[in-house]
Amino acid sequence: MLDVSGYELTPEDRELLDHPLVGGVILFSRNYYDQKQLKELIAQIRLAARNKILIGVDHEGGRVQRFRDGFSAIPAMGAIYARSDENLSQAQQYCNTFGWLMAAECLAFDIDLSFAPVLDLNGVSDVIGDRSFHAQPEPLIQLASEFIKGMHRAGMKATGKHFPGHGNVKEDSHIAMPVDSRSLEQITQLDMQVFSRLNDMGLLDGVMPAHVVYPQVDDMPAGFSKVWLQTYLRQKMQFDGVVFSDDLSMQGAAFIGDFAARANAALNAGCDMVLVCNNPDAAAQVIDSLPSELPINPRLAKLAKAPSADFDALIKTDAYTAAQRTLEAYYN
């Protein structure tokens, strides 16, 4: 999964999209000017891609929402419980509605996935912070499960991040190599419990591992670790969804080696799809370094969007009107 340069495709973008190993595109704020432009860009991407690809975006709500004008202002997940006066039932209702609204609006523009929700505990991590629903596992599970149910109701699959938990490290893996020195027992009882319980509930369709090293378990970051991805995620948790790498351009991936080494390490550890963002040369390096034909991965096809209304039709539905009323009530 790679990105594209701007509001429309360049010749270089088209060349990369035509490569047989490109299976997805992730969109950023630089790819959005208005609704008409976004619709046209996504049509261009679908047409230029050799494969039937997944189109994704980080559209969690709060400070991580790539499309603003013309889209609903989804609140930060970490604000919802407090805004509900710590009434868990009320907060769950908000989470369900906002999960549906976020997903329905993205689906209306032919976007398959928003990489959401964040399932990290709201601990010491500034980069996670209010992207997390709560600081404790149990209320986090209750809130996140409703958000995912809302996504599913709209027709979008859910990708929980960042396995096994990014909330208890201070460093930002975009610019540093975070190390979480807690014991496996602590991680299992707190952070990983969220992923495990939601998986047992049948709600996790995808997972994105953290660029974090947990030295009491393995000396490799989770996204490059067979211990985390094979022993714990696949075998012990019995997770059978898609594993996305986090962005291989992040500093938390750099010590693995060059981009080709990072991609190979992530795939060999058990990732189904690797992300290379904000670096077209790196994306080219990765696809040139891998075998020209990788085995078809049946898991990825399951994440494609369900049929959905376009935006003009969506905003005329009773469900959309009700969701807007709920959003207005939340902010007022």
Q: What are the residue numbers of the active site?
A: 174, 246
Q: Which amino acid is at 126?
A: D
* CB 31, CB 4: distance < 8 Å: yes
Q: In what order do the strands lie in the sheet with 24-27?
A: 24-27, 54-57, 113-114
- Whether omega for the bond prior to residue 174 falls within 30 degrees of 0, making it cis, is no
Q: Which amino acid is at 2?
A: L
Angle formed by the axes of helices 191-200 and 137-154, to 10°? 40
State how far the alpha carbon of 106 is from the alpha carbons of 51, 118, 235, in Å.
21, 17, 33
State how far the alpha carbon of 100 is from the alpha carbons of 8, 208, 311, in Å.
28, 21, 14
State how far the alpha carbon of 156 is from the alpha carbons of 47, 99, 149, 221, in Å.
22, 10, 10, 28
66 is in an annotated binding site: yes
Instruction: Supply φ then ψ for residue 260, to 5 degrees.
Output: -65, -40
Residues contacting 182, CB < 8 A, separation 6+: 168, 214, 216
CA neighbor of 171 nearest in space, from 138, 125, 204, 140:
125
* CB 31, CB 41: distance < 8 Å: yes
- Extract the tokens encoding 263: 């991609």
131 is in an annotated binding site: yes
**Binding-site residue positions:** 58, 66, 131, 161-162
**Binding-site residue positions for substrate:** 58, 66, 131, 161-162
